[in-house]
A = this chain, B = another copy of it.
Amino acid sequence: MSYKSHTVVNDPIYGFISIPNKLIFDIVNHPYFQRLRRIHQLGLTNYVYPGARHSRFEHALGAMHLMGLSIRSLQSKGVQITDEEAIGAQIAILLHDIGHGPFSHTLEKILIKGLHHEEISLVLINKLNKEFDGKLELASQIFQGTYKKKFLHQLVSSQLDMDRMDYLNRDSFYSGVSEGIVNYDRIINKLNVANNELVVEVKGVYSVEKFITARRLMYWQVYLHKTTLGIDQLICAILFRAKHICAKEGQIDCNPFLKFFLTSSIDKNDFMSNEDVINHFLNLDDFDIISSIKGWILHEDQTLSYLAKSFINRNLFKVELSNEAFGDSKVDDLKAKVMSQFKVDRDLLGSYFYEGIITNNAYNMDMDNIKVLFPNGEVQDIAASVDLLNISAMSKQVKKHYICYPKNISH
């Protein structure tokens, strides 16, 4: 398919998404970007919300679409944004998640040590920039926040960025948790720029308040849903066990790209310096993980087989969440029961019993704050507004303890 000025993608949320120009068309068709079709936006959240099967591909396109709307809204208010900057900002948001691997938030510590997906995104943006003869230079600067017009970076990454705006809507839409829906239209309509920073006009503050509440709700109802949490722990335990078997036996039956990461110990330096590592990473996706775990049901290691079977058949572990720490006696008792019932010693306990802490704050007062613009030109932090005391309230970090263990353990 060759690019035409009205090339569009059908999106169930926004209707038609136009591809703005030939360069973006070529980026979208590049294997790096097409790969995102095979990375689910929400990992295995479809175990809880069956419709939530969308990929990072759609999210990236959606965020690009909202970027286009925001730029037109700002331009209509007299904010100077050149065509080149508009395209740069759209590419920056399109590629902001290009570095995500399979089940990213869960597996990034296991597959490649100490490497955050945003660092991978930057590596890949720069590789693409070379391939496209430097045409992504401006996009790279906007992505990194080094470009002079700071507000363009804020549209890509801040507490009111197009990333959040799209993912809240999209995750709500597909999960059916309609409370996460954000009136992006109104917020975008009320965006403006003051002192080179992105601001929201005072008429839009209630929509922003609603946006923050929506995000808070999505965290507790979806992203940190206790069942999702349990699945994430389970998939970690499986990969961890598979890696352990590889270390002992030198190999494990699975997809070749995954095998590469299980049999070697890759860290940030390897990734940065070794083209082969990058290529293996780019070949790896959710399909390999699921397909490999399914194969491990037949593995002779009883622990790996048990975990794989639990995972594939969705025979999930029990998860308990609490505002306070679980007492030692309860935890010790459960651990003893797990060890006795599964006939495993303390070394293997970590495969069957998971514990930890999750935290979230819907609005972060220590980050790049959301600023409000008043008709008289004054600019104020949104949480400072006398009407919006609940935003300060929501900026308080919420912290929860969890434990997770096979369902048939009684206590």
Binding site for B on A (CB under 8 A): 1, 5-6, 8-13, 15-16, 29, 31, 34, 37-38, 46-47, 49-51, 53-55, 57-58, 61, 73, 76-77, 173-179, 181, 183, 185-186, 189, 206-207, 209-210, 213-214, 216-217, 220-221, 253, 255-257, 283, 285-288, 290-292, 294-295, 297-298, 312-314, 316, 323, 386-387, 389-394, 396, 398
Contact = CB atoms under 8 A, between A and B. Distances in A.
Contacts of A55: 46, 50, 53
Contacts of A15: 176, 185
Contacts of A387: 220, 323, 398
User: Chain A interface mostly helix, strand, loop or mixed?
Assistant: helix
Copies of this chain, tallied across the complex: 4
Contact of A287 (B29, B54, B209, B290): B290
Given A176-B10, A256-B253, A314-B34, A5 B77 contact: yes
Contacts of A31: 312-313
A153 B289 CA distance: 40
Contact of A290 (B38, B256, B386): B38
Given A207-B217, A290-B291, 14 more contacts: A5-B77, A6-B76, A6-B77, A10-B51, A12-B173, A16-B189, A29-B314, A34-B313, A50-B58, A178-B183, A209-B213, A255-B291, A287-B287, A390-B393
A53 B50 contact: no
B37 A46 contact: yes
A34 B310 CA distance: 12
A315 to B, nearest CB: 8
B11 A50 contact: yes
Contacts of A53: 53-55
Given A214-B210, A393-B393, A10 B49 contact: yes
